[in-house]
Amino acid sequence: MLRFPFRTMCAALLAATACSPLAPAQAAPALLPRPAAVEAGQGAFALTGPVTIVAPAGDEAARFAATWLSHALHDATGGRFAVGAAGTAGRTIVLERAAVPGLPAEGYVLTVAPAGIRITASDEAGLFYGAVTLAQMPGAQMPGAQMPGTQTPGAGGAIAAVRIRDWPRLSWRGAMLDSARHFQTPDAIRALLDAMAALKLNTLHWHLTDDQGWRLEIRRYPRLTAVGGWRRSPVSGPRGDGAPYGGFYSQAEVRAIVAYAAARHITIVPEIEMPGHARAAIAAYPELGVTGRDPGVATDYGVLPWLYNVDDHTMQFVRDVLDEVMELFPSTFIHLGGDEAIKDQWRASPAVQARLHALGLRGEEQLESWFIEQGGRYLAAHGRRMIGWDEILRGGLPPSASVMSWHGVDGALAAARAGHDAVVAPEHLVYLDFLQGGPADRLSGGRYQPEAIAGITGFDPAPASLAPEVSRHIIGVEAPIWTEYLTDGHAVQQAAFPRLDAVAEAGWTPQALRAPADFTARLAVEVLRQKAAGLPVSDAPFAVALTARPAPAASGGAAAIVTMTTQSGYGAIRYTTDGSVPTASSALYTHPVHVGLQAPVTAATFLPDRRMLAAPTTIRAADAIWTRQSDALTACPGGEYSVRIPRTPDAASDTASSRFFSIDPNTACWAWRAAPSGATQVAVTVVPMAWSFMQPGEKAAIRRYPVSEPDGVVIVRGAGCTGPDLARLPLPPMTAGGPAVTARGSLPADGGTPRDLCVITASRHPGAPYAAVADITLSGTPQGALSGAAGR
């Protein structure tokens, strides 16, 4: 047994909220998610020299955890960590399976002492999570702390003495991956699983079927993938050249992915959508639909009206598919969808109406509930459980159902009060396909912007105010990654991280220990770990946003004033004005900087230990004052600047030629707040997007603008986006996915005062493509700037 000289920080170690945060001077490790209870010790365990990781003989799960830990510690320190058996002499890290009184499932005790390290857990998951925590500790001191002997990753070092007793708050800690809209390679899915495991996330909800693709091989119905797995439009394919787009996972690939996840203690919960989002399946087998017609695999996004039929043949199809799904996925839960089922075809079908009345149901909502319950009962008969989106509540919750609530948390609470388990996944907080902010668009007006990660940080999925009989049915939290606009695995990961880090903490850490400032400090270290692991994590919380404005005439030779901010407000901003990359010794930003119009200003954030936290951002004041790209614009009043999309639906996200554009799908309007005064000319570059965002019934909600021009027009307006027009710039005919077009015109005088500009694209033709603003360039003489500081 290890002897450990503890410096006790907690009065009652077994209490979930027993440990208060350790101050930086006490060298608390920057662990994420934050452990339930931490005690600091004396001294440190040196990672230099031979260290053996010991796993119990014959315990394959423990040996996997030991092997995983050896690789992780090597990556963090550069050292070598052999995996050995009990009785190994020398300095050891011991993994042991043993009962720990009072420790919940998936919990562990991690003890670090100068003589050795021990991880103890009663179950396989807890042992692995203890290894995950230990792997975070080299080089992971809280910024500003001096953890004894600890070095940055790759430099050896030591781990400070500490004892951690830890366990998860919720049993379902998950992410949802949509592979139906865009297909990810098996390697990309494994990369996501690795990143999830490092955050102690334990559930991947895998969305495998939808209108735009059926991705799961079903032996009994080969056309589901041969036909339903592929779509084609004039602009489909990664290059937008009309190539077929799609793919599917063979059953052998699925088994391999499921096993890969299971080794990392991640359960994959498959989703097979029903009765809506069924167009790809109906394209493969038209008899499964209400009309009997082949609608083709969908190439547009939105909510489509194609529902499964409700006859015996279709219900047998559902059972056949579920048989093979259960063969492939050992998960207790199977997700049956149940969302966004437009009932128009059911209402119009005499056969469906006859079935509805024969079943004694009172309407289409109850018919949907009946349909879902057929699947739920079939799963229950095979020892499985059904879960569905919260729309299944509308027709009366099927007895076998659990609920995943995406319309806020009300659906979860309604299900929990009725005695059903529920997972919370509120759209407005944890849908990771929405913008998470960045240096340029941090001031966006959309409700999903800009502080999405801060919203998750403050989100409590199971408030203490809930009655115990309700709270016990809130089993988890999940962040969906829908992929209408995320075209490949790279885009998925960049959208998911670091926000998924905040979801992991919400599912694991006791609510009383969660504090935004503390989380942000630990997140900074975690982001560097993720980058070192090759994860394309977004810099959004820590990247520097640079803005410039003309300097007053009395500025002593400077022509512009540059302001620097970050979304999180965390980290020291350092900058240069000579074109060089900032270092930890560069000038510290404390107040707006006066520079020349052509001076390159480059800035980056740094941790107190001198590590660069986010990639540098560079501007030239002349460009920054007079030009705005779409990412630097904001939503018009009443709009939601919520997504970034490529020009064509399947364009790869990680190539130099790809460019994404920030838009509000409901109104083609962009705002430039406090545009510089003195502008007399404007040039607006627009790109005709090859996208259809909504279906005919929904398009009535899109804001329209009156157009008298023969084709399209760019309308420039002042504050509030209401008249009068400052300029109307005619556009030529444009083809979806076609080349960019620049419209130019004059602006009236502004009287020397900065003004808000709204730029609207519109067309008189209902079928015209959505014209996204790529950039806006003003020109003139900025008021107050020195002579010669004219815009381009």
Q: Pairing mode, if any, of strands 108-113 and 385-389? A: unpaired
- Which residue is catalytic, options 59, 75, 320, 340? 340
How many helices and strands (H and E) does the chain possess?
A: 18, 38
Q: Return the residue matching tokens 């919370």.
A: 424
Residue of 178, 210, 217, 631 with catalytic role: 210
Residues 6+ away with beta carbon under 8 Å from 569: none
Instruction: For residue 209, give the H/E element and its range.
Output: strand 209-210
Does a cis peptide bond (omega within 30 degrees of 0) precede residue 148?
A: no
Give kind and range of the element (H or E) at residue 6: strand 6-7
Question: Closest Cα to residue 169, out of 530, 481, 463, 517?
Answer: 463
One DSSP character per residue, 51-108 reads EEEE--TT-HHHHHHHHHHHHHHHHHHS--EEEE-TT--SSEEEEEE---TTPPTT-E
Helix (H) or strand (E) holding 505: helix 499-508
Q: Are 747 and 682 in contact (CB under 8 A)?
A: yes
For tokens 């519109």, what's the residue? 762
Residue 131 and residue 128: Cα distance in Å, rounded? 5
Residue 222: partners with Cβ closer than 8 Å, 6 or more residues away: none
Name the helix (H) or strand (E) containing 675: strand 669-675
Q: Which residues make beta-bridge pairs with 54? A: 84, 94
What are residue 393's phi and psi, to 5 degrees? -70, -25
Q: How far apart are the first and last CA of the chain?
A: 73
Q: Which residue pairs from 221-228 have beta carbons closer than 8 angstroms and sit at least 24 positions apart in sequence?
A: 221/284, 221/285, 221/317, 221/320, 221/321, 223/284, 223/285, 224/280, 224/281, 224/284, 224/285, 226/284, 227/283, 227/284, 227/297, 228/280, 228/281, 228/283, 228/284, 228/297
Pair of tokens at residue 764: 């008189």
Task: Clarify whether 210 is annotated catalytic.
Answer: yes
- In sequence order, which residues have a C-beta less than 8 Å from that of residue 673 and are 6 or more positions away? 443, 634, 756
Burial 573-587 (b: 16+ CB within 10 A, else e): bbbbbeeeebeeebe
The rounded distance, in Å, linking the Cα atoms of 296 and 390 is 28
Closest CA to 207 of 313, 89, 338: 338
| Start-end of H helices in 137-277 | 186-197, 223-226, 251-263
Short-list 266, 268, 263, CA closest to 67: 263
Q: For 227-363, where are the alpha helices, taking DSSP H only?
A: 251-263, 279-284, 312-328, 344-348, 350-358
3-state SS, residue 469:
helix
The Cα–Cα gap between 440 and 630 comes to 9
Q: What is the DSSP string of 418-464?
A: TT--EEE--HHHH-TTS----TTTTT--STT-S-HHHHHHT--SS-T
Indicate the SS3 state at residue 120.
Answer: strand
Q: Is 294 a residue of the active site?
A: no
The identity of residue 265, as a single letter, is: H
Question: Phi and psi (nearest 5°) for 120?
Answer: -120, 135
Annotated catalytic residue within 277, 335, 473, 594: 277
Q: Do 613 and 530 form a contact (C-beta atoms < 8 A)? A: no
SS3 category, 628: strand
Q: Give me the residue label for tokens 């959508």.
A: 273
- Residue 709 designated active-site: no
* Nearest alpha-carbon partner for 400 in 334, 342, 356: 334
DSSP secondary-structure letter at 414? H
Angular region, 612: left φ>0, alpha ψ -120 to 50, beta rest: beta
Residues with a known catalytic role: 210, 277, 340
